[in-house]
Amino acid sequence: MVDVIKSLKDEILSKIQETAREKGVDRIDGQMVDMVKDLAEAEKSCWEAEYYRTVTEQMGGKSGYMPMGYDMQNGYQYRTTGGYRRGYGMSGYGDAVEGVRNILSTATPEERERIKQEMRSM
């Protein structure tokens, strides 16, 4: 995707440069300049998304911050000096997380990305 965006951006930049040479800088189409700006931002976003996807994959599919005292397997928080106790939180949460992990472990990279996007939107 980023290659398509970069190619289109470069093509529009060439047209802008051609117009500037032939007609002068004051005759450059403002909409074309806006398109280059928008495409540059889209290209940057694609590279950032690729970076975060790579980091997440290197983390073994784990993402986000997990505070100490949180049991992912059973879905509860605990403290040794009072406060949270076993069973506090969503029951069955650990099973759901394990199910998602199993699905992600066998999914293609495209399927994993789609699933992660859907999870983030929830």
- 84 vs 6: CA distance, rounded Å: 51
Rounded to the nearest 10 degrees, how much is the dihedral formed by the CA atoms of 106, 112, 115, 121?
Answer: 150
E-strand ranges in the chain read: 70-71, 76-77
- 82 vs 89: CA distance, rounded Å: 15
Helix axis angle, 93-106 relative to 109-121, nearest 10°? 150
> Quick one: what percent of the chain has pLDDT higher than 70?
68
- 4 vs 80: CA distance, rounded Å: 54
Q: For the purposes of burial, counting CB atoms within 10 Å of the CB of 39, is it exposed (0-12), middle (13-18) or buried (19 or more)?
A: buried
Residues of the chain with pLDDT under 70: 61-97, 122
Query: pTM of whole model > 0.85?
Result: no
Give the pair of three-digit tokens for residue 63. Answer: 């993402």
pLDDT value, residue 15: 93
Convert the pLDDT of each residue in 9-36 to its tens digit: 999 999 999 999 999 988 889 999 999 9
